[in-house]
């Protein structure tokens, strides 16, 4: 079945460390997204990518970096510059373009990152 795989499910980071969250999709979607979820704040967009080798900052990109070298993969690195990284991170994908009938995201099952 097609879907999005996020790994690991749980991740612990020490202060000052960079960590990378994996996101892989086999839906042949062009667009991919990273969201951060905190209790009571809903989902906030970190980065998004519409095509390979191109990505854009979302609303809260500071302290994060991404790459899009393959259509299927959109890893997120949480750097030491992110002062409050403990959160639930969600990856999503969608078909791109203006075909509104295809609108709607498919989400992965998330990675919970905790700073220790």
The residues that touch another protein, with contacts defined as CB under 8 A, are 4, 6, 31, 40-43, 48, 50, 90, 92, 94, 96-98, 100-101, 103-110, 112
User: Closest distance between another protein and the C-beta of residue 80, in Å?
Assistant: 26
Q: Which is nearer to another protein, 53 or 98 (CB)?
A: 98
The CA-atom distances, in angstroms, between 5 and each of 22, 72, 83, 96, 104 are: 8, 10, 26, 19, 17
Q: Which is nearer to another protein, 13 or 44 (CB)?
A: 44
59 and 44 in contact (C-beta within 8 Å)? yes
7 and 74 in contact (C-beta within 8 Å)? no
For residue 60 the two structure tokens come to 């809260």
Q: Which is nearer to another protein, 16 or 40 (CB)?
A: 40
């Amino acid at each position: 079945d097609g879907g999005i795989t996020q790994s690991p499910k749980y991740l612990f980071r020490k202060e000052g460390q960079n960590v990378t969250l994996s996101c892989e999709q086999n839906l042949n979607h062009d667009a991919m997204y990273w969201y951060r979820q905190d209790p009571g704040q809903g989902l906030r967009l970190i980065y998004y990518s519409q095509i390979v080798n191109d990505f854009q900052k979302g609303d809260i990109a500071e302290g994060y970096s991404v790459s899009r070298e393959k259509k299927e993969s959109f890893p997120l690195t949480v750097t030491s510059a992110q002062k409050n990284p403990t959160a639930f991170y969600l990856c999503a994908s969608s078909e791109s373009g203006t075909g509104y009938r295809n609108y709607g995201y498919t989400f992965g099952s998330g990675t919970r990152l905790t700073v220790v």
